[in-house]
Amino acid sequence: MTSRLARFLLLLAAVAVLLSANGSKFTPPFGPWKRLSRQPILTPLGSGFESAGVFNPAVVKDGGRFVMLYRAQDKSGTSRLGYATSRDGVHFTRRTQPVLVPEADYEKDGGVEDPRLVKIGSLWYLTYTGYNKRDAQLCLATSQDLIHWQRRGILLPAYKGKWNVKWTKSGAIVPRQIAGKWWMYYLGTKADDTDQMGLAWSTDLLHWTDALPQPVLARRPGQFDSRVVEPGPPPVITRDGIFLIYNGADEHLVYRTGWVLFDKNDPAKVRARSDTPIFQPQEEWEKIGQVPNVVFVEGLVRSGERWLLYYGGADKYVGIAKAEDQH
């Protein structure tokens, strides 16, 4: 009887390990998201560089203040990156001039779009989309103060990937090395025009190579991410793995928010993934704008016992939501 009991307990332990490995017991590090404001916290302003839209913000904590870089679009459709600061993470004061404007050939006319920010060592790394009204390509700039930026060029050129044979966008860099390499999740477009999530690696953060011959996180027909699977803010390293919020869109291009957990020792291995969205368009200004029915998350900050999520609404406004920390 003792031997049988021992074998039974070993079997239970093995099942528990298996369930843990495939993510069945995983829960996100935060509770439900709730809007901190029913109205946008940033709206278009004036007749200049941010007159048509302010949206898709990257937000980081720098010392005792929050810093936001956001996509600002003028009435001709050209995008620049605006800059704003806050003490409480909710009420932001804008800089009167953008901090990054289109200058390189790969940015001309269309502009610089959709920033993500991560700090590694003493440098801030800014991934953004360079768009010249023909091609959209994933680009990089670095800074020590979040205001003055040095361009580092195109990270993953359009049309030249292993499977991402069209545009590249949305680089979310893992903030620490794994197996001696840096890793980045990004958006690529397949030959069938579906946008899916890829994985790239680098030894110096400047030169990047596709890690896989296929997407690391594919679309799911019939679900909220059936058409687009696009990285959101840079991943968070948790005790369970690499936790990444992503933006999913269905066949009607309604954008909602999901999450995925990758293995902390293998950035290509999915351990868990949300079956349903954790955030979706609700307010009128999230449903009506330059692009309808969009909440697009690019900023995530842990502040005390809560998480703050920053998002673009309908490609025109900036919104904020919060969730209580669960770990």
Q: Give the tokens for residue 176.
A: 């620490």
Q: DSSP alpha helices (H): ranges in the chain? A: 2-21, 284-287
pLDDT per residue over 67-82, tens digit each?
999 999 999 999 999 9
pLDDT per residue over 112-148, tens digit each?
999 999 999 999 999 999 999 999 999 999 999 999 9
Are residues 46 and 33 in contact, defined by beta-carbon separation less than 8 angstroms?
A: no
Q: Give the tokens for residue 73.
A: 């679009």
DSSP string, 310-325: EEEETTTEEEEEEEEB
Number of H helices, E strands in the chain: 2, 21
Q: Mean per-residue pLDDT for 88-101?
A: 97
The residue among 273, 322, 290 whose CA lies nearest residue 55 is 290
pLDDT per residue over 161-195, tens digit each?
999 999 999 999 999 999 999 999 999 999 999 99
The residue among 305, 217, 229, 241 whose CA lies nearest residue 30 is 305
- The per-residue pLDDT for 326 is 84
The Cα 156–Cα 140 span in angstroms is 10
Per-residue pLDDT at 29 exceeds 50: yes
The residue among 274, 217, 262 whose CA lies nearest residue 235 is 262
> Residue 241: helix, strand or coil by DSSP?
coil
Q: Give the tokens for residue 268.
A: 């290509």
Per-residue pLDDT at 102 exceeds 90: yes
According to DSSP, the β-strands at 34-35 and 317-324 are antiparallel
- The per-residue pLDDT for 255 is 98
Are residues 246 and 228 in contact, defined by beta-carbon separation less than 8 angstroms?
A: no
Per-residue pLDDT at 291 exceeds 50: yes
What percent of the chain lies above the pLDDT cut of 70?
A: 92
Q: pLDDT category, 4, cuts 50, 70, 90?
A: low
> How does the average pLDDT of the chain come out, rounded?
92
- The per-residue pLDDT for 304 is 87
Domains of the chain: 30-322 (2.115.10.20)
- The per-residue pLDDT for 104 is 97
Owner of token pair 């009420």: 91
pLDDT per residue over 248-280, tens digit each?
999 999 999 999 999 999 999 999 999 999 999
The radius of gyration computed from the CA coordinates of the chain, to the nearest angstrom, equals 20
Q: pLDDT category, 22, cuts 50, 70, 90?
A: very low
Q: How many CA atoms lie within 13 A of 192 on its CB side?
A: 7
Owner of token pair 């330059």: 290
- The per-residue pLDDT for 18 is 35
**Bridge partners for 142 per DSSP:** 125, 150
